[in-house]
Structure formats: C-alpha cells, structure tokens
C-alpha cells in the first residue's frame, strides 16, 4: 500500500477529527495507515485514497462507522490503573452514599439513587469494574436505584460491552481468580458478567463532541484517556459541558496524565493519595 502523504493524508486527518474528535498530526500517518489497512482491503479498495472517496461519497453511515471502529480501537482492561478504583471504593462512593443518606435522596423503593457515566467506555470493562465495586459496597444493590451508563463512539465496542462476554485473556487482566469466579459465569466464548451486575448498566453509541444533555445528570463521570487526543479547544468544550451534567458535589475522573482545571475553570483539582480528581467550584 502506498504511504499516506500530502493532501491525501491531510484529508484523512481532517475527516478523522470531524467524525471522532481525535486530532492527529502528520507524524501519525503510520497509525492511520495501520488502522485502516485491513478495512481498505476488506472494502476492495486499492488505496487509502480510494477508501476516503468511498466513505465521503456514501449516502448512509455504514462505512463511516467502520472507519470509526478501526481508528478508535484501543486497549482496556478490568480495574485499569488501580488508583481511580481505590478512590471510588474508599472515598468517592462512600462519601456519596453518606451524602445521599443525609439528604434523604432515594429511589421510589426507598434506596439510594446513584448515577455514574463512563464516557469512552470501550468494550465495557470500566463499567463492569465499577459495578463490582458497588456490589461490594452495597451488597444487595437491587434495593437501590443504580444506573451505570457506558458510552463510546464505536458501534463495535458498544456491541461487545452490551454482550458482556470476555475471553479468558481479558478476564485475567485486572481481575483476581476470586473476582472472576464471584462475578462471572462460564460461557462458550469465555466468561459472561453475572446478570445481576449486567442489570446495573446500559450502553449506547455517543460521540463526545455531540450534545449529551439527554443522558441526564450524574454523580460521578469517568472520562479517562480519551480527551487527551482532542485539540485543546475541543477538550475545553467537552469538560465545560460535562460540568453542566455533574451533580454540584459530584466528581470527574480523567486519565493520570490529563489536566482539567487549567482549561475548564469550573473545576478544581482534589487529591486522594496518588490520584487527582475534579470537583465543581
């Protein structure tokens, strides 16, 4: 395959930013080539230029979704980067539960009402990791109104997250054997998340550059390792909109190398041991 360069490369980079929000510079030509090579062959295109004209000319969105899936494929695993989950387990969720009890804000069944959003949830491991933490904190969570919302721009990722089935390799990354046996059941394709934990979660396709007010408000938002690929103006706009969706006492968790307060003054940084999270001023 001929290497991407010049106007053809710039056209792809502009298109990728428009449909995913991901801002790549020309030094990432190799990444675009590698991510799109299989799709190019599968679609019977001789060059990436031909694939580009095909995707721009199509009337529907089938090929566009395939491009998004190819470009946004990324690594994830259960309890990735332990610090956020330690903060959830020992600080953020216990404080939220105590606050709900003091406020008397419960569900129609008399239990607690908790809403958590995992933005860019990929194939669902982050959402199900949170479900495990909540199960361990609350025990019989069905007395409560717990809603975990997972969103991702990739149709393929959301389909996998909704299915809730993971390979042996995937469950061995981040989960102890005890957690695996306690929260998963054997499946022909590996391991399936238990139905009671799956019931906490719902998944949907969402581009973070689009309006997400319809999702409602949240007590905790996790947006880890995705906005780092956006241009600063897009990151700023995203976090300003997330601020409007966050409970006044809620928390925003981002990736370890990301900073929010400097580009979104609505937030101030807080620290729990080795982790930084953000709350509204």
| Cβ-Cβ contacts under 8 Å for 174 (sequence gap 6 or more) | 77, 78, 79, 80, 125, 129
What residue spans define the domains of the chain?
6-72, 82-280
Q: Structurally, what CATH architecture does the domain formed by 6-72 represent?
A: Orthogonal Bundle (1.10)
Neighbours of 122 (CB within 10 A): 25
pLDDT band at residue 2 under the 50/70/90 scheme: low
- Alpha-carbon dihedral of residues 37, 38, 39, 41, nearest 10 degrees? 90
Closest alpha carbon to 210 in 68, 77, 32: 68
Strand partners, 193: 184
Mean pLDDT of 1-15: 87
- CATH code linked to domain 82-280: 3.40.50.150
What pLDDT, on the 0 to 100 scale, is given for residue 108?
A: 47
Cβ atoms of 205 and 154 within 8 Å: the answer is yes
34-59 pLDDT, tens per residue? 999 999 999 999 999 999 999 999 99
How far, in Å, CA of 114 to CA of 147, rounded? 6
pLDDT tens for 212-222 read 999 999 999 99
* Helix, strand, or coil (residue 193): strand
Which pLDDT score is estimated for 37? 95
Model pLDDT, residue 64: 96
Strands of the 218-223 sheet, one edge to the other: 201-205, 145-152, 113-119, 218-223, 246-254, 275-280, 267-272
Q: State percent of the chain over pLDDT 90.
A: 89
Residue 25, pLDDT score: 93
**Joined tokens for residue 19:** 């449909």
0.75 exceeded by pTM: yes
Q: What is the mean pLDDT of residues 189-215?
A: 96
pLDDT of residue 75: 78
Q: Is the dihedral of CA 29, 35, 37, 40 positive or negative?
A: negative
pLDDT in tens, 223-264: 999 999 999 999 999 999 999 999 999 999 999 999 999 999
pLDDT tens for 61-120 read 999 999 999 999 677 999 999 999 999 999 999 999 999 888 875 544 568 899 999 999
- CA angle, 126 as apex, 228 and 33 as ends, to 5°? 45
Secondary-structure breakdown of the chain: helix, strand, coil percentages, each rounded to the nearest 5: 50, 20, 30
Spatial neighbors of 133 by CB under 8 A, at least 6 apart, are 85, 88, 89, 93
If you average pLDDT over every residue of the chain, what do you get?
Answer: 94
Q: In sequence order, which residues have a C-beta less than 8 Å from that of residue 162 and are 6 or more positions away?
A: 124, 203
Average pLDDT of 119-141?
Answer: 95
The DSSP secondary-structure symbol of 228 reads G
């Amino acid at each position: 395959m001929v290497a991407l360069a010049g106007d053809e490369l710039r056209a792809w980079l502009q298109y990728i930013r428009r449909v995913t929000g991901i801002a790549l510079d020309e030094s990432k030509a190799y990444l675009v080539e590698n991510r799109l090579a299989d799709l190019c062959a599968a679609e019977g295109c001789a060059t990436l230029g031909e694939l580009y004209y095909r995707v721009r000319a199509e009337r529907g969105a089938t090929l566009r979704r395939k491009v998004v899936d190819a470009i946004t494929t990324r690594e994830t695993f259960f309890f990735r980067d332990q610090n956020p989950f330690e903060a959830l387990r020992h600080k953020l969720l216990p404080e939220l539960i105590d606050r709900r009890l003091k406020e008397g804000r419960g569900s129609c069944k008399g239990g607690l009402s908790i809403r958590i959003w995992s933005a860019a949830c990929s194939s669902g491991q982050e959402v199900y990791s949170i479900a495990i933490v909540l199960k361990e904190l609350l025990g019989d969570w069905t007395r409560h109104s717990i809603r975990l919302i997972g969103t991702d721009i990739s149709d393929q990722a959301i389909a996998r997250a909704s299915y809730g089935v993971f390979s042996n390799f995937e469950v061995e990354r981040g989960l102890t054997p005890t957690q695996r046996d306690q929260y998963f059941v054997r499946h022909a394709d590996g391991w399936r998340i238990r139905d009671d934990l799956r019931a906490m979660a719902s998944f949907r396709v969402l581009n973070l550059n689009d309006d997400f007010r319809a999702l409602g408000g949240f007590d905790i938002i996790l947006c880890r390792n995705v906005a780092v690929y956006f241009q600063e103006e897009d990151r700023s706009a995203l976090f300003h909109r997330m601020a409007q969706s966050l409970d006044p006492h809620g928390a925003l968790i981002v990736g370890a190398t990301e900073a929010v307060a400097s580009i979104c003054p609505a937030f101030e940084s807080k620290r729990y041991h080795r982790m930084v999270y953000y709350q509204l001023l």
